[in-house]
Structure formats: structure tokens, C-alpha cells
Amino acid sequence: MGVGRLIADPNFETAEYAILVTDAYQNRGLGGVSPTTASTWPEVGARRVVAETTSDNVRMLALFAKQGFDVATDEHGTVKVSKDLNPS
Ligand SMILES: CC(C)(COP(=O)(O)OP(=O)(O)OC[C@H]1O[C@@H](n2cnc3c(N)ncnc32)[C@H](O)[C@@H]1OP(=O)(O)O)[C@@H](O)C(=O)NCCC(=O)NCCS
């Protein structure tokens, strides 16, 4: 039905988050219950999670907001988000 991934760099400074729900299953709440939701991120051990999307992707932006990302939009309309996990 979809795939989520969190890929850390070799030093575990930053992990890039991406999710895709197949068209037939979109807008049914799956994006918020993906196995790669925020509750699992500390297990990866990265200091920070980052992701990108476009400014018209309202469902993804809603999920980023719900998961507590800091959001910045560049001059091309690309939304870049980050969340500090502060692992101990
Ligand atoms: C973006 C994507 C992952 C969202 O997954 P989804 O299962 O379709 O989304 P959901 O049904 O979980 O909805 C996500 C949120 O958007 C909200 N939402 C839905 N329609 C909305 C609208 N028109 N305006 C604002 N928010 C809206 C929902 O209420 C939900 O928030 P909630 O969990 O707080 O209720 C999915 O649409 C997708 O795979 N898109 C293509 C790939 C992509 O863009 N990936 C993102 C790059 S990282």
C-alpha cells in the first residue's frame, strides 16, 4: 500500500525521511500511521530527521506539522523540514 523510509548518513548526523502511499490508498489516514512515523525515529539513532516536499502537498505538510518539524520554504517553492531528535 505504500513505503516509508528513513536513511541515515554514515555518521548518523542526519536521516532523510520519505514516504509514499499508493494512489488508491491515499487520503485514508495511512500517511499518519506509517511504520516510519516519528515514534520510531529515535531507534535509528540519528541526531536530526530532514525531508522535502512541495508547497502544494497539503497532506504531507499536515503530517510534518503533526510530527513537529521545523519548516522552511525556499525561493523555488520547495519546503524543507527538519526535526532535532537529540538522542542521548
Ligand atoms: C503525502 C502522503 C504520504 C500522505 O499520505 P496519505 O495517506 O494520503 O495522507 P493521510 O490520509 O494520512 O492525511 C495526512 C493528513 O493530511 C490532512 N489532510 C487531508 N486533506 C487535507 C487538505 N485538503 N488540507 C489540509 N490537510 C489535509 C489529513 O487530515 C491528515 O492529517 P491528520 O493525520 O492530522 O488528520 C501521500 O499522499 C503520498 O504518498 N503522496 C505522494 C508522495 C509524496 O508526496 N510523498 C511526500 C514526500 S516526503
* CATH number for region 2-84: 3.40.630.30
Which helix (DSSP H) or strand (DSSP E) does residue 78 occupy?
strand 78-84
pLDDT tens readout for residues 10-62: 999 999 999 999 999 999 999 887 766 677 778 888 999 999 999 999 999 99
pTM for the structure as a whole: 0.90
Q: Does any ligand 1 atom lie closer than 6 A to the CB of residue 10? A: no
Q: Does any ligand 1 atom lie closer than 6 A to the CB of residue 26? A: yes
> What are 46's three cell numbers?
540519528
Q: Does any ligand 1 atom lie closer than 6 A to the CB of residue 28? A: yes
pLDDT of residue 83: 92
Alpha-carbon distances of 65 from 5, 10, 32, 71, 86, rounded to whole Å: 18, 27, 11, 8, 18
Domain ranges of the chain: 2-84
